[in-house]
Amino acid sequence: MKKAIILSFFLLAAVCSLHAQTPQDYDARIQQDQAALDNASRRYKEQSRKNSKQIDILESSISRDQMEIDRLKSALKSEKEIQKANQDQLKLQKSKVSALKKAGAAPEEIRLANIDTKTIQAKVRDSKAEIKRINNQIKKRKSNINESRKGISSLRKDTRDAKKEVQQSKKNLKDSKKAQKQAAQQEAAAAAQQEAPDTPVAE
């Protein structure tokens, strides 16, 4: 019975050895993993350098847009002050025209007062249009900044992805080398077992 068990064990070991990979079987795989790592590293360096330059350009663009926004906000503040002054002047002018009419002023005087009123109204309209223009410019610059930030975020993600590819390639190569080492150890153990003298089995 014991002999049958031992015989079965050796038959099983023989079958397993047919499917076991030798250290040499991993050579091609290691070469492929090394080539993949070299390519991934090269792509990462190129991508990182290119993305870094593009990020610098976008950051400079953001800085310029922000400076322009600050300038526009200052101009907007001044224009709003001008608009308020014009609106106050318009109220006074309308009150003046109303007072002239009530006082029975000469038609020519009223006509000239109305001309002044229209002039001030034009200033109010111009100021309102200028405020709208400045606000639109601020919105445009803010939109530019948002787009630049999205671009920077995308470029940084692209760089991170390229780095992850390098890390994965390193892991693949490390795993292949580890598997080759284990195969070599198993091969050495099998060879040592074959060279060991047979131990007599007690009846």
Reported residue count of the chain is: 203
In the block, tokens 């397993």 appear at 16
The answer to whether the CB of 87 falls within 8 A of the CB of 124 is yes
Q: Please state, in angstroms and rounded to a whole number, the distance separating the CA atoms of residues 180 and 172.
A: 12
* pLDDT score of 134: 98
* pLDDT score of 192: 83
Please name each of the domains of the chain with its CATH number.
2-176+183-192 (1.10.287.1490)
Q: Is residue 126 very low, low, confident or very high in pLDDT (cuts 50, 70, 90)?
A: very high
Average model confidence (pLDDT) across the chain: 88
Joined tokens for residue 96: 């003046």
In the block, tokens 């031992």 appear at 6
Q: Is the pLDDT of residue 14 over 60?
A: no
